[in-house]
Chains A and B, each alone.
Chain A
């Protein structure tokens, strides 16, 4: 049975989106991305190192023609910075599908939702398709959807923390009320966390550190691929009812 993942009218096979930061080398990045099966990778916009020119670039390893680049605004603490970053990303090669994150605090990397909503509104008017990193607050995610976000991406836990989804109730509430895809972004530490996100009914998972900082990133990337598929299938299958007492699995009749 086909289970296509659609964001902003574009279809993707994999529901796992992976970051490309924190890897030891471009080779490791490439191998991990391949093992993850992801169709979309997040990338950051930074100054070219003028002294280091001629060195290989990310684009030499991950071809933006064969994998979707999702430019992000990591490190931006104001709407102005985020808008500038994404306008530059678009100029680089026509990227309209972007990940917006406007941070509010260096210690927690929690999003500044006021600036995030303001930026989303402007970007949508400029023709961007905006996937938005946000808090797991159902009122705020509704506002983001109202101003035109094409995907809602609540954090499961702080970026890079790896402690898994802290507020499942809110994630479910957000999923129930949203008519655009809901993708858990940040907080996933290991495969079971990604599975839980999918079992809650989320449309996808975005993660970076859980793979990049695993002892064996390529193996963890493969684990994440299966974890997302497993969680999605379990959600679609519909889990059994939870019961207080045991219920024997073998028939009780004709016991010897």
Chain B
């Protein structure tokens, strides 16, 4: 059964369901991630932070959210 209100995206390599019309700010809020601590790529393109509210995700979009971890 297809639910018309949800869309599946690829989030950090895994399938993830979002409501249709979700923008990047809303996705971060849902994930409880602060935007000043991450960088986001959608379909291979880095998105500037001021564009998060206007970037509406579509089904099958490939989203990568990265942050800094310990490293040498």
Contacts and interface: CB of A to CB of B under 8 A. Distances in A.
Task: Choose among B32, B38, B64 the residue with the greatest number of A CB atoms under 10 Å from its CB.
Answer: B38
A48 B38 contact: yes
Given A46-B66, A87-B46, A208 B72 contact: yes
- Grouping DSSP codes into helix (H, G, I), strand (E, B) and loop, the B interface class, with mixed when no group exceeds half, is strand
B11 interface: yes
B70 A45 contact: no
Given A50-B16, A53-B32, A91-B48, A43 B37 contact: no
Contacts of B41: 84, 88
A57 B72 contact: no
B31 A58 contact: no
A92 B39 contact: yes
A69 B68 contact: yes
Contacts of B31: 48, 50, 53
Contacts of B71: 19-21, 42-44, 72, 74, 208
A93 B36 contact: yes
B43 interface: no
Given A53-B32, A92-B39, A93-B36, A48 B65 contact: yes
Interface of B: 11-14, 16, 31-33, 36-41, 46-49, 64-72
Given A19-B70, A21-B69, A46-B67, 14 more contacts: A22-B72, A45-B69, A48-B67, A50-B12, A53-B31, A53-B32, A57-B68, A69-B68, A72-B71, A87-B46, A89-B39, A92-B39, A159-B72, A160-B72
Interface of A: 19-23, 29, 42-48, 50, 53-54, 57-59, 69, 71-72, 74, 84, 87-89, 91-93, 159-160, 207-209
